[in-house]
Amino acid sequence: MINELYDTSLSLLTDLYQLTMAYGYWKAGKAEQEAVFNLYFRKHPFQGGFTVTCGLNSVIDYLNEYRFSEEDLDYIRTLTGNDGQKLFEPGFLEYLRTMELQCSIHAIPEGTVVFPNEPLLRIQGPILQCQLLETPLLNLINFQSLVATKAARMRLIAQDDALLEFGLRRAQGPDGGVTASRAAYIGGFDATSNVLAGKLYGIPVKGTHAHSWVMSFDSELEAFEAYARFMPNNVTLLVDTYNSLNGVRHAIKAGQQLRKRGYELGGIRLDSGDLAYLSIEARKLLDEAGFESTNIVASNDLDEYIMDSLKIQGSKIDIWGIGTKLVTAFDQPALGGVFKLAAIKADSGEWDYKLKLSEQAIKVSTPGIQQVRRFKDSKGFVSDMIFNIETPLMGKATMVDPYDFTKNRSFAESTQFEDLLVPIFAKGQLIYTLPSIYETRKRVQEQLSHFYKGIKRFVNPHTYPVGLEKELFDMKTDLIMKLRAGNEE
């Protein structure tokens, strides 16, 4: 989709340093050396207890179209260094021109509930190619996962109420708007006001009308009657332009006219003031007038916390219209996903495991060709274990808390599990059938239902256990010791 939106190849959607490193690998004769990178995040957004992964569809589109066009190469050719001389030799540009993606990619399917340090994507292939993909893959996964997570949080509060996404006007540019609409739908929204997202993804489109409609008439009643006349099968009237409860009375009048023509007043929308009080009073007015099935839509800078508060206050809101705080992920504008090298194949054909040291334990990367095993019992998912597929698990598996080795758990061989990463590309060839957006959307709710409810609360959520398989933990520890010893002052 992103390619459609920009109508161009998007291989330049990367940071310059990926190109300069790619050039370096090429010059050093390392371009084809096989490497493995993991894409993962370190902390849940919104101080929450879960994250919903999203954006794989864009990754697939992006990689399917991946190539350096003549215009791309013409541009790269112009780039110069500090001395004004060309950065790249012609031979490198020729290499890029004929380059075909050879990467094999495993990923956790979209709509899966995931946790810190779990590889959402594992990219294996020529190091030069993997490197070029760091920035675009992070760009695609970070934002969409963030918005899908925000949406899933709102769905938890909304329960069975309808959720409409109204964010396009506040989104971070066209692609931010369109991808946010998709991610919001996957996270649990029911519809979007974004017509392009509707067309591109098959998301239901819905909407009401703006204050300008009311303001353009001499009176609110006239505006409502006109709207109802012209669009009798889609009437949700925005009642707060002048005085919300008066507006509800006018909407009821327009609704009575509609009924005479065999149509129903679909809803009224409240967009300012005390949404708890106004929705309760509006409900009374509507019910007294025999409009029990007319929905009350609320909007106005809503987020999951205000929704929660409104629910506690007994508000009578049936449909929530949410824009700004959803599509901008207002209280946390980025998911901190990273892309780290985990192994390089040595000339011997053996994996040489790689790790980035840090003073902060949470920032030390994990080596290995990783897979995530999610153990289940009769009540649901119980823990996730990251393991190295190169050291097959035999019999019972032991997993260690990566931040406290004294904490570990063992799982009998008979314990049920699911391995989360599935093959997407094999040496550059797509081998995965992307589920429909509707299936992915269902998957989120399905997934959430299998987790202990503590991970879903907003305040001090329960930490779902994610550990390293014992052999991987030991290998990581050894590597840390070796690297620390080898890099002492």
Ligand X SMILES: O=P(O)(O)OC[C@H]1O[C@H](OP(=O)(O)OP(=O)(O)O)[C@H](O)[C@@H]1O
Ligand Y SMILES: Nc1ncnc2c1ncn2[C@@H]1O[C@H](COP(=O)(O)OP(=O)(O)OP(=O)(O)O)[C@@H](O)[C@H]1O
Q: Applying CB under 6 A, which residues contact ligand X?
A: 166, 169-170, 271, 299-302, 321-325
Coil, helix or strand at residue 31: coil
- Residue 301 makes contact with ligand Y by CB under 6 A: yes
Q: Are β-strands 370-377 and 380-388 bridged in parallel, bridged antiparallel, or unpaired? A: antiparallel
Query: C-beta of 267: minimal distance to ligand NIO in Å?
Result: 10
Sole window of 136-144, 220-228, 297-305, 359-367 interacting with ligand Y (rule: CB under 6 A): 297-305
Among 22, 101, 268, 276, binds ligand Y (CB under 6 A): 276
**Distance in Å, CB of 187 to ligand Y, minimum:** 20
Residues 6+ apart with CB under 8 A from 411: 375, 385, 396, 397, 398, 399, 417
Pairing of strands 162-165, 319-322: parallel
Instruction: Please give the helix or strand (H or E) that residue 311 lies within, else none.
Output: helix 304-312
Q: Which residue is nearest to ligand NIO (CB)?
A: 207
Least distance to ligand Y, CB of residue 284, Å = 16
Number of H helices and E strands in the chain, helices first, is 16, 21
Alpha carbons 457 and 153: distance in angstroms, whole number: 9
Q: Does 176 bind ligand NIO (CB under 6 A)?
A: no
Total binding residues for ligand NIO by CB under 6 A?
A: 7
15 binds, among ligand Y, ligand NIO, ligand X, none (CB under 5 to 8 A by kind): none
Residue 53, phi then psi, degrees to nearest 5 = -80, 140
The helix (H) or strand (E) run that includes residue 34 is strand 34-40
Of residues 15 through 34, those in contact with ligand NIO by CB under 6 A are none
Rule CB under 6 A: say whether 275 interacts with ligand Y.
Answer: yes
Select from 303, 323, 316 the least CA-distant residue to 157. 303
Cβ 399 vs Cβ 391: under 8 Å: no
Minimum Å gap between C-beta 441 and ligand X is 21
Token match 């009401």: residue? Answer: 208
The yes or no reply on residue 219 touching ligand Y (CB under 6 A) is: no
Coil, helix or strand for 323?
A: coil
**At closest approach, how far in Å is the CB of 207 from ligand NIO?**
3
Smallest gap from Cβ 323 to ligand NIO, in A, equals 6
What is the amino acid identity at position 237? L
Cα–Cα distances (Å) from 279 to 147, 161, 251, 266, in that order, read 27, 14, 14, 15
Query: What's the min distance (Å) between Cβ of 272 and ligand Y?
Result: 3
Q: Which of 61, 65, 222, 274 touches ligand Y by CB under 6 A?
A: 274
Find the helix packing angle between 437-449 and 173-187, rounded to 10°: 50
Which partner from the list ligand X, ligand NIO, ligand Y, none does 350 bind, CB cut-off 5 to 8 Å by kind? none
207 binds ligand NIO (CB under 6 A): yes
Q: Could you tell which of ligand X, ligand NIO, ligand Y, none binds residue 147, using a CB distance below 5 to 8 A set by kind?
A: none
Q: Which two tokens stand for residue 321?
A: 């219209």
Which of ligand Y, ligand X, ligand NIO, none binds 274 (CB below 5-8 Å, type-dependent)? ligand Y
Contact (Cβ atoms closer than 8 angstroms) between residue 139 and residue 13:
yes
Q: Which of 58, 149, 193, 279 binds ligand NIO (CB under 6 A)?
A: 193
Strands across the sheet containing 191-192: 191-192, 162-165, 319-322, 295-298, 267-270, 236-238
User: Considering the complex, what minimum distance in angstroms separates the CB of residue 258 from ligand NIO?
Assistant: 18
Is residue 239 a contact point for ligand Y (CB under 6 A)? no
Per CB under 6 A, does 317 bind ligand Y?
Answer: no
Q: Please state whether beta strands 295-298 and 267-270 pair in parallel, antiparallel, or not at all (unpaired).
A: parallel
**Among ligand Y, ligand X, ligand NIO, none, residue 208 binds (CB under 5-8 Å by kind):** ligand NIO
Bridge-based pairing of strands 121-126 and 34-40 is antiparallel
Asked if residue 309 binds ligand Y (CB under 6 A), the reply is: yes
How far, rounded to the nearest angstrom, does the alpha carbon of residue 460 sit from its chain's CA centroid?
A: 22
Does position 272 interact with ligand Y (CB under 6 A)? The reply is yes
| 297 belongs to the binding site for ligand Y (CB under 6 A) | no
**By CB under 6 A, residue 302 contacts ligand Y:** yes
What is the binding site for ligand Y (CB under 6 A)?
272-276, 300-302, 306, 309-310, 313
What is the binding site for ligand NIO (CB under 6 A)?
166, 193, 207-208, 299, 321, 323
